[in-house]
């Protein structure tokens, strides 16, 4: 009789789950290139930060070490990352809705994430609890952290082959030329500019290419002033992805919207390569 009750209980438990929604795994994307700096130093990480619901997440070990924490440890018995710095102890249980600062529970907006077996935490939460100033620079998608009295360990200091000024101007031309286009189209427009920078027939800087007047104004936004509009976030992302090597249009040097183009010169004189949404790209 006892066995029958056990079986019945199991069956009832299973039946109670039928029809209930099972939460799907959160969709975490690393496609947005985010830069993190500490006291002006670019921080080199072995895994990328990511944006989730407007919150910037970074791998806990790298932000802790960059801010010169005394220790960053993993407590396997409690599934908790622990950062110690002088009199401050920050405990971050994986996949939880908050952390503990010196034993006091503090809610964490959007929670602490375990992604690919790595603990990610909102950068502002950890930095501010380590007495840092944190700023988000939307023009370059950069988390800028300042902390007096520390020097970033040399192994964590990284480099990149483009500047903030290049992000700034490339994102402006992408925004002005491809508002409403899909991300692939925006990245393609950015690559036309970058391909011209590499070509001997054009100026060797992004700014120079955008404002090139050797054969007349090259880009309509320069003529109508829309080049000076503030880029939306997806244009900044497209510019950074192109600068980091993503390229869907090979060595194309030209693009146009066939439906609105006033000149037919490109169609008649340059080899066609591909079309992405409203823009056709030519070599």
Q: What percent of the chain has pLDDT over 90?
A: 51
Q: CB–CB of 237/33 below 8 Å?
A: yes
The pLDDT assigned to 126 comes to 86
The pLDDT assigned to 26 comes to 55
Residue closest to 168 by CA, chosen among 248, 235, 241: 235
Whether 3 shows a pLDDT value over 70: the answer reads no
User: Which pTM was predicted?
Assistant: 0.82
The pLDDT assigned to 173 comes to 96
Whether 21 shows a pLDDT value over 50: the answer reads no
The pLDDT assigned to 215 comes to 74
Q: CB–CB of 171/235 below 8 Å?
A: yes
What is the CATH superfamily name and number for domain 35-156?
Copper amine oxidase-like, N-terminal domain (3.30.457.10)
Whether 28 shows a pLDDT value over 60: the answer reads yes
Q: CB–CB of 200/150 below 8 Å?
A: no
Q: What are the boundaries of each domain within the chain?
A: 35-156, 164-282
Q: Mean pLDDT across the stretch 230-242? A: 94
| Strand pairing class (55-59; 80-85) | unpaired
Give the CATH class of 164-282: mainly alpha
């Amino acid at each position: 009789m006892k066995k029958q009750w056990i079986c019945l209980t199991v069956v009832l438990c299973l039946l109670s789950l039928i029809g209930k929604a099972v939460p799907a795994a959160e969709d975490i994307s690393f496609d947005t290139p985010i830069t993190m700096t500490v006291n002006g130093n670019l921080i080199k990480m072995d895994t990328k930060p990511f944006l989730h619901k407007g919150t910037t997440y970074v791998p806990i070990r790298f932000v802790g070490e960059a801010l010169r924490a005394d220790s960053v440890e993993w407590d396997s018995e409690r599934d908790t990352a622990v950062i110690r710095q002088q009199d401050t102890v920050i405990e971050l249980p994986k996949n939880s809705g908050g952390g503990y600062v010196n034993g006091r529970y503090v809610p964490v907006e959007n929670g602490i994430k375990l992604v690919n077996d790595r603990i990610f935490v909102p950068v502002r939460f950890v930095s501010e609890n380590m007495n840092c100033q944190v700023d988000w620079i939307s023009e370059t998608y950069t988390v800028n952290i300042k902390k007096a009295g520390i020097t970033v360990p040399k192994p964590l200091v990284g480099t990149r082959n483009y500047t903030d000024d290049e992000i700034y101007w490339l994102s402006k031309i992408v925004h002005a030329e491809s508002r409403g286009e899909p991300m692939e189209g925006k990245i393609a427009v950015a690559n036309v500019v970058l391909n011209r920078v590499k070509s001997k027939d054009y100026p060797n800087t992004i700014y120079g290419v955008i404002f090139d007047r050797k054969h007349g104004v090259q880009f309509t936004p320069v003529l109508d002033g829309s080049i000076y509009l503030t880029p939306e976030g997806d244009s900044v992302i497209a510019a950074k992805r192109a600068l980091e090597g993503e390229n869907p249009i090979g060595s194309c040097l030209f693009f146009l919207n066939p439906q609105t183009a006033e000149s037919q010169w490109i169609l008649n004189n340059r080899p066609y390569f591909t079309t992405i949404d409203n823009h056709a790209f030519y070599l």
